[in-house]
A and B are shown apart, each in its own frame.
Chain A
């Protein structure tokens, strides 16, 4: 996926003017936070559980090599294979190699953000393998030739009328005049269309919410059961996972699962939690013939031991997206790459470079709502600020901003000069704006006054009034 993060402002402008997107985001902004709050209300020990989850992830990050090697050893013991891939390209080649070895024509796919990071669908298609997304939201964005705009709700930027329109345009063998108003009907139609594709697929690809070192298993959660059909029916199951997904034990995974569902959708547990261990055994009724884990680094090991290491605790619940007022205003596509919202603002510069993604950590008010809801208590605002520091050091911050800041900082370090400046500014603006109490436009402040009035200062500054009062 070619990043468009540099065009964040233009992307945001477009999103703000898109009435469908605005309607969809309006629903999202109230729904997710309400459900999460209710779920946490029902679990008084949520904060203690959070601490437990954080300890698990911190322990794994500190011993990542050990747990990854243990995981591989146990995958092999169960008859599966682990493919270590440094880059997205290597991972794509690996998946294609497996598909070719099985002469695969179609692959079904469960939802995977690592797959998005690899831009796997485009790669497979270019190489003659047809990928079919089976998560309803992913299926919708695929038939619209879009990318997911949210890490757990890929089509959250759409309203149901747009979905119906896409179904009509794609499922042309069905009667055009059919009613598609009810979400349930859309769901049933997708199910009917996908069923034969599940049966015909040669390879099934899923992501992984967790990898279990002690058993060599992968775990996925879905609400549709599509992941199970994706992985059980074909000749091979390929798991795409970034390497920080590993946890020591099944017990650890269940601790994190309790945090994940509540933080994500406000469910106590996702509808389906599927643990996959190796290929089909002789005594199994069903299951894939081969089990592969494509383990992707793609820049993550570079975060180890550095100032962005805490980001590796992220369990991709999307609570930060769901509670972010900036994400809620512009949606995920504006961020211009795979990950959006606060977690994307921190992770994207790590993975594609701050030169490309410079806007993302800047487009935040530091309101802190993301950190307050993050089950892993990742200090997202702090890390966005760290990115701003890296930008400032590299002189990537816009020149006008640097000069303005430099001038202001010079004055702010000279209290007498500052006194004079604020006194004069207050007096002049107070005099000019006093009659109306505000300015409708002001030169050099159009960034403010294009959108809102600027309340006028009362007149004399506090410090000058205070000094006068002292003398009196």
Chain B
């Protein structure tokens, strides 16, 4: 029997703190696809908050930590296009003027994939063993879409989820207004953007919103909840892994057991 593919999971700070279920869903999907999954203990965050705030020094320090923690695995898989894009696209740029680290960053970048793209394009998962009764609409998170070309892969895999119908919103590629620290630095503009996004979501009549990035999900779920709209919000991995019974939708009350 072939050796299993050795995958390291980069959990991401938002999944770690807000939504462990997504981490476990990622582990299940990867194991179902024949991978052995390790979660390196020395991970914290990808460094994007520092990088996007102009703090290159701290961004580099954190990137070095990630490069070290994830050395030696066949692949590094991230349930986020944003953090995935940081490692894959931006780490090599961060070390452009330090040849030794640039090489390590390029090596890591080449092995790093966003979860759904990894499943669809690298291990070419053919069997998604999940069931979800509902009509879902899918928001294309910006970094995954524009930095990593994540577009049709989630849609392709979602087709195999029994009971699920996908209904596209008018502008799935328009930013939801999260933007990391942007949403608290410019809250009024962010609010306008997420208000428009939520209207677009509501106009589809879908009962479920899916997306591959926790930041966007927290933002959209928070706005839907504030406006009293009953749309179930979930990370796409939860649905693909058939783990929607493990946790209530994002921002929804915990059911009494």
Is A12 part of the binding interface, using a Cβ–Cβ cutoff of 8 Å? yes
Is the CB–CB distance between B248 and A16 below 8 Å?
no
Residues of A within 8 A of B247 (CB): 458
Residue pair A412, B45 in contact (C-beta under 8 Å): yes
B179 at the interface (CB under 8 A from A): yes
Residue interface bits B172-186, CB-to-A below 8 A is 1, else 0: 011101111111111
A193 touches B (CB below 8 Å): no
Known: A405-B50, A415-B44, A466-B23. Contact between A447 and B222, CB under 8 A? no
Given contacts A368-B146, A409-B58, A436-B253, contact A455 B53 (CB under 8 A): no
A2 interface residue (CB < 8 Å to B) = no
| B residues in contact with A450, CB < 8 Å | 187
Q: Which residues of B contact A455 (CB under 8 A)?
A: 18, 218, 221-222, 225, 233, 250-251
Q: Mark A388-427, 1 if CB is under 8 A from B, else 0.
A: 1111110001000100011011011101001000100110
Question: Shortest Cβ distance from B13 into chain A, in angstroms?
Answer: 7
User: Is A326's CB within 8 Å of the partner chain B?
Assistant: yes
Let me know if A222 is at the binding interface, CB within 8 A: no
Inside 8 A of B181's CB, which chain A residues have their CB?
A: 401
CA distance A411 to B175 in the complex (A): 30
The contact of A412 among B47, B173, B175, B180, by CB within 8 Å, is B47
Chain A CB within 8 A of B62 CB: yes
Contact A438 B52 (CB under 8 A): no
Closest residue of chain B to A469, judged by CB?
Answer: B24
Name A453's contact: one of B23, B192, B193, B226 (CB within 8 Å): B226
Residues of chain B contacted by A382 (CB below 8 angstroms): 93
Known: A397-B54, A451-B223. A13 touches B182 (CB 8 A): no
Q: How far is the CA of A276 from the CA of B132 in the complex (A)?
A: 65
CB contacts (< 8 Å) of B54 on chain A: these are 385, 387-393, 397
Instruction: Kindly state whether residue B111 has any CB partner on chain A within 8 Å.
Output: no
Within the assembled complex, what's the spacing in Å between the Cα atoms of A466 and B10?
Answer: 13
**CB-based contact B185/A392 at 8 Å:** no
A369 touches B53 (CB 8 A): no
Report yes or no: B44 in contact with A409, Cβ–Cβ below 8 A.
no
B8 within 8 A of A: no
CA distance A460 to B253 in the complex (A): 16
Nearest to B173 among chain A residues (CB) is A369
The B108-163 residues at the A interface (CB cut-off 8 A) are 142-143, 146-147
Q: Does B70 contact A (CB under 8 A)?
A: no
**A147 at the A/B interface (Cβ < 8 Å)?**
no
| Interchain nearest-CB distance for A264 vs B (Å) | 20
Is A465's CB under 8 angstroms from B20's CB? yes
Provide the A316-345 mask, 1 if CB < 8 A to any CB of B, else 0. 000000000110011000000000000000
Q: B178 → chain A, closest Cβ, in Å?
A: 7
By the criterion CB–CB under 8 Å, are A366 and B179 in contact?
yes
Q: Are A462 and B20 in contact (CB under 8 A)?
A: yes
B170 to chain A: closest residue by CB: A30
A452 touches B11 (CB 8 A): no
Shortest distance from the beta carbon of A244 to any chain B beta carbon, whole Å: 25
Q: Which residues of A contact B142 (CB under 8 A)?
A: 365-369
Measured between C-beta atoms, what is the minimum distance from B77 to chain A in Å? 14
- A26 to B, closest residue via Cβ: B196
Is A448 an interface position by the 8 A CB rule?
yes
Q: Which of A364, A425, A436 contacts B17 (CB 8 A)?
A: A425
* Residue B1, interface by CB 8 Å: no
B225 touches A405 (CB 8 A): no
Main secondary structure of the interface of A (DSSP, over half): helix
Smallest CB–CB gap between A457 and chain B, Å?
A: 5
Interface residues on A, range: 35 or more
Residue of B nearest to A392 (CB): B54
Q: Say whether A94 faces chain B, with CB atoms less than 8 Å apart.
A: no
A455→B220 CA distance, assembly (Å): 10
Query: How many residues of chain B are within 8 Å of chain A by beta carbon?
Result: 72
Q: Determine whether the beta carbon of B225 is less than 8 Å from that of A438.
A: yes
- For B18-42 the 0/1 string (1 means CB < 8 A from A) is 1111011000000000000001011
The smallest C-beta distance from B244 to any residue of chain A, in angstroms, reads 13
A437 proximal to B (CB < 8 A): yes
* A9 in the interface (beta carbon within 8 A): yes
**Cross-chain contact of B178 among A365, A401, A462 (Cβ < 8 A):** A365
Selected contact of A435 from candidates B44, B179, B253, CB within 8 Å: B253
Report the Cα distance A220→B58, complex, angstroms.
47
A-facing residues in B68-112 (Cβ within 8 Å): 93
Min CB gap A336→B, angstroms: 14
A325–B58 contact, CB under 8 A?
no
Q: Give complex CA distance A336, B45 in Å.
A: 36
Bound complex: CA of A135 vs CA of B219, how far in Å? 42
Residues of B contacting A458 with CB < 8 Å? Answer: 18-21, 247
Expressed in whole angstroms, the Cα–Cα distance for A456 and B181 within the complex equals: 18
Chain B positions within 8 Å of A390 at CB level = 54
Chain A hits for B188, CB < 8 A: 9, 12-13, 16, 451
Considering the chains assembled together, what is the distance between the CA atoms of A385 and B59 in angstroms? 13
B193–A329 CB distance below 8 A: yes
Taking CB atoms, residues of chain A closer than 8 Å to B50 are 405, 408-409
Chain B CB count within 10 A is highest, among A325, A326, A329, A440, for A325
B23, closest chain A residue (CB): A462
Whether B43 is near chain A, meaning CB under 8 Å from some CB there, is: yes
Complex CA distance for A439 and B186, rounded to whole angstroms: 20
Which residues of chain A are within 8 angstroms of B147 by Cβ–Cβ distance? 368
Q: In the bound complex, do residue A16 and residue B39 qualify as a contact, i.e. CB atoms below 8 Å apart?
A: no
Q: Could you say which residues of chain A place their CB within 8 Å of the CB of B180?
A: 365-366
Within the complex, the shortest CB–CB distance from B212 to chain A, in Å, comes to 15
* Complex interface: chain A residues within 8 A of B222 (CB): 438, 448, 451-455
Q: What separation, in Å, do the CA atoms of A450 and B188 have in the docked complex?
A: 9
**Known contacts A385-B51, A426-B16; can you find 7 more A-B pairs with CB under 8 A?**
A12-B189, A382-B93, A397-B54, A412-B47, A435-B253, A452-B226, A455-B18
List the 3 shortest-distance A-B pairs measured between CB atoms, nearest first: A365-B179, A447-B184, A388-B54
Q: Which residues on B are within 8 Å of A, measured CB to CB?
A: 11, 13, 15-21, 23-24, 39, 41-45, 47, 49-56, 58, 61-62, 65, 93, 142-143, 146-147, 173-175, 177-194, 196, 218-219, 221-223, 225-226, 233, 247-248, 250-254
Please list the residues of chain A having a beta carbon within 8 angstroms of any beta carbon in chain B. Answer: 9, 12-13, 16, 325-326, 329-330, 362-369, 371-372, 382, 385, 387-393, 397, 401, 405-406, 408-409, 411-413, 415, 418, 422, 425-426, 434-438, 440, 445, 447-448, 450-458, 460-463, 465-466
16 A-B contacts, Cβ less than 8 Å apart? Answer: A363-B185, A364-B179, A366-B179, A366-B182, A367-B175, A368-B143, A371-B146, A389-B54, A392-B54, A393-B54, A418-B44, A418-B45, A426-B18, A434-B254, A453-B225, A462-B20
